[in-house]
Structures are given as structure tokens and as C-alpha cells.
Amino acid sequence: MDPELADAALRTDVYELTMMQGFWASGRSSDAASYELFFRRTPEHGGYAVAAGIDDVVTMLTSMSFSGEHIEYLRSIRLFREDFLSYLSKLRFQGDVRAVPEGTVVFPNQPILEVTGSLLEAQWVETLLLNCVNFQTLIATKASRMVEAAKPSTVVEFGLRRAQGPNGGLWASKASYLAGCVGTSNVEAGYRFGIPVFGTHAHSWIMSFPTEREAFDAYAKTFPDQSTFLIDTYDTLGQGLSNAIAVSKELARKGHQTRGIRLDSGDLAALSKACRAELDRAGLSDVKIVASSDIDEYSITEFKRQSAPIDIYGVGTRLATAYQEPALGGVYKMTALYQGTDWEPKMKISSTPGKSTLPGRKQIWRARREGQFVGDVLALAQENPPFDVLEEERNGTEFEPLLKDTIAKGERVEEPTAIEAVRDRVADQVASLPKEHRRLADPTPYRVELSHRLKAYRDELFEKLA
């Protein structure tokens, strides 16, 4: 198992543990509750998000337990009763989880994941699942925006060195790959997840030789079929480009093929045009142009507008840190409580518009017509497909329930999906979302409706509580 996922029992806020002791001490350890994870707003006012981190949550929930050392530590902070610590040492997550499949395109206020189990267990897992799904969804969404902007060019993720710590770097590489990046520079991510790794070389390589030409020659000698020359250390369109062309021609004479050149400063659009023209003139049309340096989906759009012939974008900081909006505000809220014999709906009422929650266990029904998503309906879990809500869409429309059983009584329902299959799913999901919801500027909001029963349920409970 991935070491990041192996030891998650303490990946929680201490208030979860104090509440757990409270439930336990008041004899409520086995009272059941249902919670759902959702976010209220897509990052950067985008039209969609790509759900990620779900499979990792399933792995953590089905394997986590408090070790002897964990219990020792909890004892040392003098908050917990000895008999409660003994209870914790045997605790396993035994609840149920329903979730959208990893890589599903999702929208605000939809339950991405639902936990149903004892109050105590559902509280235990809150923080770790928010930590995992919020970050990976944030990065998968950011990566998807960049990959969409770059098409038909491709995006390689270069973020590890400026990511938020080693775990931030690792999960960013994974989320970026499943959202459509073609690879990463992060060797640990390659090792852990089987993601293709790519790389060029640094300015320091050039600077370590007396001349740029010697640096290129030495690299070409070591990697005759794998070289991408960084040409901007001294004079991009002067010696940089001509050295790269000379070395590439020599490689070609010996039956080898230079992969590319990399531009890392200056006007990347103008430079890429000049480089493309010179490379083509030299018979090196197969040599690709890689651009890097603070690139994001906005500058990629700008490069495209300027018809920059950039084949590959190397994107680091702004992807791995989701630079413009570095957190997804996903939350975990109680929707129902099992009281004696029946489920009782729960909702939080807020004076802030949009912050009240929707009560009850739910299902998301996604309508597709001719392969394209036309809208979603949030319904109560036990409802039949709410065809009546998207009435005008009914002809030829297929409704698919998005929340699937992923954990049943603490056991994984299905093996995790291979990363390549998740990547294919993301590609299919994003392609199924009509273009107007995908554009960066003022995307048309995707249609998400409530079923009549869910609306009535909410209004009734609101009347009762307000």
C-alpha cells in the first residue's frame, strides 16, 4: 500500500477525538449518522471540478487503526480516559461509503462522497477525507483546465520543487496525471503510481561547462535519443538555437533524433515562432518546442491566441500549488441521524445565503443525451430517477446515478481503478461536458436541479427548524 495511505488513524483534528470520547462516554457509540462531502464553489469561478482522492479515501478507511504507539501518544496528551483508549485500540471503520467514481466531473453542492456509520466513526474520518479529497480535487481541476487550454499541445507537470511539501508534490503529480497531464518530472510519483516521467536539463548543466556547445554535446552523447536542449541560458535566438540545431543535425547524421528544445524565459510566443521557423528550415521539423516559466491556463490561452507553436508546456508552481486559488472549500456535513427506529433528516441553517445544507441521504442523477451531459438532479436516495425535473430533456436522455457503493460495512466493494483507467474516465467526462461549461472566462453554469421531493423535504424541515 502507498505509505501515504497506510497510517491515517491520527490524520484528524483533536476535536474529532474528543467528540468521539463524548459519544462513547454518553453511550452513543453505535448511534448511526450520515454525512456528505461537498463544496460550495468551483475554484476560480470555473464551470466544473474533477473529483479526485476518492480511491485513496477508500484505501485509508478500509485499513486504518490506532497502533500501540498512537495510543501511547494519545495517552500522553492527557485528554482521554484509559477505557476509551482501550476502545480506540480495537476501533476499525465499519461504516458504508457511497461516492462518485474517481475522476467524475462534479459541481457545487453535490455530495461527492457520503459516509454512513456510527456517529463516532463518521466523526473520526472527517478530517482525513476532507484533506485528501479537497486537495486532489483542487489539483485535478486545475490540471484539467490547463490540459483543456493547451489542446492539442500537451502539459507535463514540473511542480515538485515548489509544491507544498513532499506529500503536496506527490498528490499534485498524481492528480495532474489523472486529469490529463502526459507525465511528471517527479520521480517518486513515477515510482509510486507508474506515471510516465519526463525531463530536460537545468541551466546549471550548461553553466557547468566552459561553453554551451560543449554542454549540449555532452548531453547528446549521453542521451542521443532523449535530448531536449534548454536554449535560453545565454542568448536564446543567437547561440542557444544555433548550438541546438548544430548538435541536432550531428545527431541526425548518426541516426539519432533530438526530442526538443526548451524555452524558459523571455517572450515565449515570439521566441517559439522564431525557433520553429529556424528548426523547420534546418530540416528539424520533428524537434518539439517545450516552454516553461510560470505558465498556467491563462498564459496557455494567451500563447494559443498568439499562435505560438509550443508543443509541450512544462507547468510547475501554478499547477502544483493551484496558485490562483490554493484551496477547495469542501465540507463534510451531517444529513441524517438514526434515532431509535428511523432516519431523521438533519440540516444546518445559516444566515449566510448558500450556507444552509440540504437534508437527507441523496443520489445525484446525471442526464446525458447524445453523449453529452445535459444536467443533474439531486434527489433523495430512495427516489426513482427524477425524470420529471428535466422534462424538456426527457427524449433520448439517459439518467445515471453517480453515487455508487464503495465501502460496505467497512469492506471495499470493488478494487481501486487503475490510474490509466481513471485518466480515461476523466477524458471522457470532460469531453462529455458541453464546451460552454468548460471555458475559462464566464463559463455557463451547468444545470443542477433539486427533485420535487428533495425540495419539499428541505422546505418542510426548514419550517420546523427556523
Ligand X SMILES: O=C(O)c1cccnc1
Ligand Y SMILES: Nc1ncnc2c1ncn2[C@@H]1O[C@H](COP(=O)(O)OP(=O)(O)OP(=O)(O)O)[C@@H](O)[C@H]1O
User: Residues in the site for ligand PRP, rule: CB under 6 A?
Assistant: 158, 161-162, 202-204, 264, 292-295, 314-318
* Torsion angle in degrees (nearest 10) through CA of 167, 170, 175, 177: 180
CB of 202 to ligand X, least distance (A): 7
Nearer Cβ to ligand PRP, position 287 or 295? 295
Instruction: Decide which of ligand PRP, ligand X, ligand Y, none touches 315; Cβ closer than 5 to 8 Å per partner kind.
Output: ligand PRP
Backbone torsions φ then ψ of 107, nearest 5 degrees? -135, 165
CB of 265 to ligand Y, least distance (A): 4
Per DSSP, 460 falls in state H
Interatomic CA distance for residues 97 and 407, integer angstroms: 5
In the chain, the amino acid numbered 86 is S
127 near ligand X (CB under 6 A): no
Instruction: Decide which of ligand PRP, ligand X, ligand Y, none touches 162; Cβ closer than 5 to 8 Å per partner kind.
Output: ligand PRP
Nearer Cβ to ligand Y, position 122 or 291? 291
Please tell me whether the peptide bond between 43 and the residue prior to it is cis, using omega within 30 degrees of 0. Answer: no
CB of 278 to ligand X, least distance (A): 21
SS (H, E, C) 320-364: HCCCCCCCCCCEEEEEEEEECCEEEECCCCCCCCCCCCCCCCEEE
Q: Which residues in 231-290 contact ligand X (CB under 6 A)?
A: 262
Instruction: Decide which of ligand Y, ligand PRP, ligand X, none touches 185; Cβ closer than 5 to 8 Å per partner kind.
Output: ligand X
SS (H, E, C) 209-248: CCCHHHHHHHHHHHCCCCCEEECCCCCHHHHHHHHHHHHH
> What are 306's three cell numbers?
498568439
Instruction: Decide which of ligand X, ligand PRP, ligand Y, none touches 203; Cβ closer than 5 to 8 Å per partner kind.
Output: ligand PRP
Interatomic CA distance for residues 20 and 15, integer angstroms: 8
Instruction: Decide which of ligand PRP, ligand Y, ligand X, none touches 317; Cβ closer than 5 to 8 Å per partner kind.
Output: ligand PRP
Instruction: Decide which of ligand Y, ligand PRP, ligand X, none touches 199; Cβ closer than 5 to 8 Å per partner kind.
Output: ligand X
The correct pick among 93, 158, 177, 219 for binding ligand X (CB under 6 A) is 158
State the sign of the Cα–Cα–Cα–Cα dihedral 392, 51, 329, 113: positive
Nearer Cβ to ligand PRP, position 321 or 335? 321
Q: Which residues in 160-219 contact ligand X (CB under 6 A)?
A: 161, 185, 199-200
CB of 320 to ligand PRP, least distance (A): 8
Instruction: Decide which of ligand X, ligand PRP, ligand Y, none touches 347; Cβ closer than 5 to 8 Å per partner kind.
Output: none
Nearer Cβ to ligand Y, position 137 or 299? 299
Q: What b-and-e string marks burial along 301-312, b requiring 16 or more CB atoms within 10 Å of the CB?
A: bebeeeebbbbb
Interatomic CA distance for residues 384 and 381, integer angstroms: 9
Q: Which residues in 293-332 contact ligand X (CB under 6 A)?
A: 314, 316
